Amino acid sequence: MATLLEVLVTSDSNNTLWTNAVWDPHTGTCLMTYKGGGTAENKTLTFVGNDYLAAVEKTKPVLHVWPANSYQTVQGMRFILPGKATAFAVSRDGSFIVAGIEEKIYLWQTASGNLLTILSKHYQRVVMLKFTPDGRYFVSASEDGIVMVWSLATVSAHPEVDLVSQTSAGQHDPVYIFSNHTLPITDLCISKTGMHGRLCTVSTDRTCKIYDLSSGELLLNLVFDIPLSAITMDVLELNIFVGTTDGKIHQFSLTNPPRNRNVLVNTDVSCPTFTSHTKVVTCLSVSLDGETLMSGSNDEQVILWHIPSKQPVRIIRHKGPITNAFFTVNYPAIYKQEFTPSIILHTLERTLEKDAEEFTELEVLMKNKISFWPEPREEFEEIVTSKEAENEFKLKEEGLQAELSRLKAINSNLYAMAIQKSLDAIPLVANTPNKKKKKKKNKEKATE
């Protein structure tokens, strides 16, 4: 498994065997299964850092979290949400969690479980949440057809944290508000460059809209002849793949931009089409090498397509309609028997009201070993026994005592010499005025 660069993660609405599964896309082999999470809500399955896998249950207000190497959920902790969530996302480093519950967006800090804010700008149920790759922004979409881009630093920092109440929370304004869709939004995808790239959205109003996140402008409006249900971009972001409610997947090239912003797409002439599904396409994802397109559908199939030839390469059958499916890098923690997670989990708070006398005690686990200096070579790694160390210490102590005695003797000699010199100089200074008096008396006698 060490040579496997990426894996495929899926979930379906039939949870009799497992809730989520990890597959080898090259052979179709099931590598790992995760159980005990019921049915995962559509497009809520995600990794928490490199250590955990999380998904929201479809029928209960519960978040299920699995260690990457265990088929059982995290023991001793339950993650109860304030309500049944219809959208869910985790930042790439696993530090923050957002969930869409009805028309509100809840934001938590993962390590402490603190509920940072509740955003209430949408008018209808939130159906999609996604973080930008750098984790600094996240995008929300709802059934009211509105897409909002939020700054994580702005909404998580409040000048009066202790005074936040349930009624005063969520008064932050988003960075952008896109209200070009007229019907509920079904899917969205963000460029790998985040706010310097593009945002693509699809809706049941049969349109696909592409925005420039750096300026907030609508670049392109693609109008299809059937409601759209899923969207993704290839690795180089030169093509978009749009899934429809009749089971077809259309490929649209972005390398030849049209003259007009609004384009009526003729799927029979201008768009290469992938046709094999018989029901709504729910999930789309492109592999890291850009050669394989993955599609999941309500017809209980996950199909891997060869993009250049538009032919299906492999079909992975499930027991129910596909709710989540995506390509991701192959995490080493999946195959380890024991590993130390780098992310701290905490139960999630339900409300913003806090007692001033209560505080959350957070235990931070850190690795003390810092690989800053290069490791010593083997030939210099000598193990000194206790007796050798003791003898060496005694020798050093005896040498220091001898040096100290020598310095004391020198200091004593210098002190004695200085005292003697001082004593020798005292009579000379004292006899000087007496000699002058004798000379004066001799001169007086001579004059007489």
Interval 207-245: pLDDT, tens: 999 999 999 999 999 999 899 999 999 998 899 999 999
Judged by DSSP in three states, 161 sits in: helix
Contacts with 42 (C-beta within 8 Å, 6 or more apart), sequence order: 58, 282, 323, 324
Q: Residue 381: its pLDDT value, please? A: 47
- pLDDT greater than 80 at residue 336: yes
- How would residue 429 be classed by pLDDT, with cut points 50, 70 and 90? very low
Query: Widest CA span of the chain, in angstroms?
Result: 152
- Residue 5 sits at the vertex; the CA angle it makes with 98 and 21, to the nearest 5 degrees, is 55
Average pLDDT over residues 103-130: 91
The Cα–Cα gap between 264 and 186 comes to 20
Distance CA 131, CA 98 (A): 9
Compute CA distances 201 → 113, 120, 356, 383, whole Å.
Answer: 31, 21, 43, 64
Radius of gyration of the chain (CA): 38
Range of weakest confidence among 25-34, 109-118, 308-317, 386-395? 386-395
Per-residue pLDDT tens over the stretch 251-306: 998 888 777 888 888 877 778 889 988 899 999 999 988 899 999 999 989 999 99
pTM of the prediction? 0.75
Q: Which pLDDT band, with edges at 50, 70 and 90, does 84 fall under?
A: very high
pLDDT value of position 208: 93
Instruction: Tell me how far apart the alpha carbons of residues 75 and 63 are, in angstroms, rounded to a whole number.
Output: 13
SS3 of 422, please? Answer: helix
DSSP codes of every residue in 8-21: EEEEES--SS-SEE
Residue 444 scores a pLDDT above 60: no
Average pLDDT over residues 69-89: 89
Mean pLDDT taken over the chain: 83
Do 86 and 41 form a contact (C-beta atoms < 8 A)?
A: yes
Contacts 24+ apart (CB under 8 A), 298-304: 298/322, 299/247, 300/12, 301/277, 302/8, 302/10, 303/276, 303/277, 304/25
Instruction: State how far the Cα of 267 lies from the Cα of 252, in Å rounded to an integer.
Output: 9
The residue count of the chain comes to: 448
